[in-house]
Amino acid sequence: MKNVEEIHSKTGVWRVPIHGMPPLSGWAVQYVSGMENPDIKEGFWLSHWRVNSTRDSATFNFEPGLHMCYTEQSEAIAVSNALREHAEIETKVVKV
């Protein structure tokens, strides 16, 4: 893992379950290897991806549960490629 800095925002990232929503479908990014954090395990799912306004960095997170997917395969592939190219983090794109 290179060029990656662990950050903790004072505002945090929050999630609220919305009951009655249909299950996620589309393309998800699944972690394979490269993180130096032992809490992130192979098979975890990308749950947060946000590119900043100047497009020179992104924040991201992986979690055990599936909470996020892309409707277009090309979007998931772009995120997976960015993680590999800029952070040496290996992922795979999975149809859900």
Q: For residue 16, is pLDDT > 70?
A: yes
Q: Report pTM.
A: 0.89
Please name every residue paired with 52 in a beta bridge, in sequence order, or none if there are none. none
pLDDT-derived band of residue 60, with 50, 70 and 90 as boundaries?
very high
18-45 b/e with 16+ CB inside 10 Å = b?
eeeeeeeeebbbbbbebbeeeebeeebb
Q: How far apart are the first and last CA of the chain?
A: 27
Return the pLDDT at 95. 98
